Amino acid sequence: MNSLSTNQELRRGDILMSENKQYKACFEDNGNLVIYKWSQIWDTKTGNIEASRVLLQDDTNLVIYTDTGLAVWHSNTFSPEAKQVRMTLTNGGQLVIDNHGETIWRSGPTPCPNVE
């Protein structure tokens, strides 16, 4: 699986794999969402916060939550006009959020909200 749709989530230990099998995004047991090629190339810096799930919300925001429901990281992509939202791990090693085919966020080295 290389993508999440609206209201799908990753739990600790879950991964997304790019279609070309060169990259993987892992939601690690320590609560960090990390992209790897041969080594780590990007992360949410949420390790050791006891995060338990990564949720692609129906408002287009990607959010990492603790067991108690506290949001500890988000993509800052809230949109009341969400249509067909999907997050994909691309063959270039980036997580990309699209809203009805329009890219609204991508992982970086620095996350870039509202990508043109």
pLDDT digits (tens, 9 = 90+) for 60-84: 999 999 999 999 999 999 888 777 8
Q: Tally Cβ neighbours within 10 Å of residue 106.
A: 19
Structural domain count of the chain:
1
Helices and strands (DSSP H and E) totals, the chain: 0, 13
14-30, pLDDT tens digit by residue? 999 999 999 999 999 99
Give the predicted TM-score (pTM) of the model: 0.88
Measured over all CA atoms, what is the biggest interatomic distance in the chain, rounded to whole angstroms?
A: 38
Domain coverage including residue 107: 3-113
* Domain at 48, CATH number: 2.90.10.10
